[in-house]
Amino acid sequence: MKLKKLIQDCCQQKLAAQSEVYQLYADKLFPVCLKYSRNYQDAEDTLQDSFLTIFSKIKQYNGNGSFEGWLKRITINTALLKYREKSPLQIVKELPETEEETEIDLESSIFNVDVLLDFIQKLPDRYRLVFNLYVLDNYSHKEIATLLNISEGTSKSNLSRARKILKEQLEIHQQQEQKA
């Protein structure tokens, strides 16, 4: 079924079309949910909530940009909304502008991607959300500030702290792997 026809059928709330959209995109959107969630079960819940939102707003998709990109944006927004509803993000004091940016050298590191995902999921919510939005989804600090209702400086500070924590965790993990 062509995508345009599939979207039209979803607009008419045809269950077969909705099921097909789910089958086509669930596997692509689940990793997005997983990186914004604390665990697998939360990610599954976010995926389901995302599809409920997608099907309720599908008439708003106007064909500009990719459909998959539109789905991804809704999924990210759904995940962020869940965290805003659970508990407000704690605003942390901004770090001085002179702080060095911590870089994580992923190229020279040998590690399992699941290990990195686990470390990301264990980050405090405010750090994990900023890290994912900036590093993995290419949002700007200005966009992140708007999405999370924080300042750009706080976004930069949270990103720096997230990178520092991840770098420390990866170094510890590498040392443990070398000993084993």
How does pLDDT run across 72-126, given as a tens digit for each residue? Answer: 999 999 999 887 776 554 444 444 443 445 455 444 445 577 888 889 989 998 8
b/e per residue 15-32 (b: at least 16 CB within 10 A): eebbeebbeebeeebbeb
What pLDDT, on the 0 to 100 scale, is given for residue 112? 73
Q: What is the amino acid identity at position 148?
A: L
What pLDDT, on the 0 to 100 scale, is given for residue 6? 94
Please choose, from the candidates 121, 115, 112, the residue with its C-alpha nearest in 3D space to the C-alpha of residue 41.
121
What pLDDT, on the 0 to 100 scale, is given for residue 87? 53
Q: Quick check: 66 pLDDT over 70?
A: yes
Q: Comparing 3-86 with 113-179, is the CATH topology the same? A: no
Is the Cβ–Cβ distance between 59 and 11 less than 8 Å?
Answer: yes
Is the Cβ–Cβ distance between 129 and 162 less than 8 Å?
Answer: no
Token digits of residue 96: 């001085």
- Residue carrying the six token digits 């607009």: 11
CATH number of 113-179: 1.10.10.10
pTM summary value: 0.75
Angle, CA of 57, 135 and 22, to the nearest 5°: 30
What pLDDT, on the 0 to 100 scale, is given for residue 111? 59
What pLDDT, on the 0 to 100 scale, is given for residue 110? 53
Instruction: Report residue 112 CA to chain centroid gap.
Output: 19
- Residue ranges covered by each domain of the chain: 3-86, 113-179
CATH number of 3-86: 1.10.1740.10
- Region of poorest pLDDT, from 94-108, 124-138, 148-162: 94-108
Phi-psi region of 175 (alpha: psi -120 to 50; beta: other; left: phi over 0): alpha
Q: What is the amino acid identity at position 58?
A: I
| Cα 54 to Cα 157: distance, rounded to the nearest angstrom | 32
What pLDDT, on the 0 to 100 scale, is given for residue 115? 84
| Cα 22 to Cα 48: distance, rounded to the nearest angstrom | 10
Q: What is the mean pLDDT of residues 121-138?
A: 92
